[in-house]
Amino acid sequence: MSTVKEFLSEQDELAIIEAIKKAELNTSGEIRVHIEASSKKETYQRALEVFEGLKMYNTQQRNGVLLYIATEDHKFVICGDKGIDDVVADDFWDCTRDTIATYFKEGNFKDGIIAGILNAGEQLKKYFPYQADDTDELSNEISKG
Ligand code: CA
Ligand code: CA
């Protein structure tokens, strides 16, 4: 992978934001993407820290989902909030993770992120269906470290 700036074009970012909007029409879950170059911390720990930093626990059903990517570390993690962990099986994110990994291995980052987001939306639909009075509880903008 490459530096954060080279990682995605402006067009790619817009396509990712559109994917988040689309996924959030399937589920009340709120999906965010955070991209940074590198972290000295263990990837999952760092993802949890970013989750807190972005105040992603600020959802009514505690169903925020973060896709954390460290471009230079060649690492990514998906983590969901407490409300999700309480109701799904331990391997819930495996399918989303594998989908993303398949694209990333080919160097196709934009499509990997989009596929992961749409997959997460589909997965969450069963447990957290879209509500008629849904609001956009967490920003769809990509967060950059
Ligand atoms: Ca929402
Ligand atoms: Ca959102």
Instruction: CATH number of the domain at 31, please.
Output: 3.10.310.50
Per the domain annotation, does 140 fall within a domain? no
Ligand nearest to the CA of 63: 1
The pLDDT score that the predictor gives to residue 86 is: 97
Asked if 117 and 26 count as a contact pair (C-beta separation under 8 A), the reply is no
CB contact set of 2 (below 8 Å; sequence gap of 6+): 71, 72
In the predicted model, residues of the chain with pLDDT beneath 70 are: 1-2
The pLDDT score that the predictor gives to residue 6 is: 81
What's the pTM? 0.96
Question: H or E stretch including 91?
Answer: none
The pLDDT score that the predictor gives to residue 2 is: 59
Distance of CA 40 from the midpoint of ligand 1 (Å): 32
Distance of CA 127 from the midpoint of ligand 1 (Å): 14
DSSP-assigned letter for residue 108? -
Per the domain annotation, does 142 fall within a domain? no
Domain around 89: 4-135
Residues with CB under 5 Å of ion ligand 1 are 134
Q: How many domains does the chain have?
A: 1
CA distance 80 to 91: 12
CA distance 142 to 34: 6
Tokens of 82: 């407490």
Distance of CA 82 from the midpoint of ligand 2 (Å): 17
The pLDDT score that the predictor gives to residue 40 is: 97
Q: Supply angle C-alpha 59, 131, 112, rounded to 5.
A: 70
- Classify strands 30-36 and 143-144 as parallel, antiparallel or unpaired: parallel
Per the domain annotation, does 144 fall within a domain? no
The pLDDT score that the predictor gives to residue 22 is: 98
Per the domain annotation, does 59 fall within a domain? yes
The pLDDT score that the predictor gives to residue 113 is: 98
